[in-house]
Amino acid sequence: MLGLLIVALLAWGLLKTRHTRPGGPEARERARARAESRRRQAELRKRRLALQRRRSRGK
């Protein structure tokens, strides 16, 4: 009984993750652009924090 429940949960989890994948080419492009934007923002944030640390050390 427990094994059946585990198999059912695994199957449900796999089916659930399939639907979260981008469907069409437009959705894939939006996802790619979103990831790229997130990466750029992270780089900018890192640079800004480094500059702030440098400034605070200089004073």
Between 14 and 31, where is the model more confident? 31
Q: What is the pTM of this model?
A: 0.53
Tens digits of residue pLDDT in 2-29: 888 899 888 888 777 666 666 788 888 9
Compute the CA torsion angle 58, 41, 43, 22 (nearest 10 deg).
Answer: 160
Report the phi/psi class of residue 12: left, alpha or beta, with left for phi > 0 and alpha for psi in -120 to 50: alpha
Q: What are the CA-CA distances from residue 16 to residues 8, 39, 54 (Å)?
A: 12, 27, 46
- Ramachandran category for residue 36: left, alpha or beta (phi over 0 → left; psi -120 to 50 → alpha): alpha
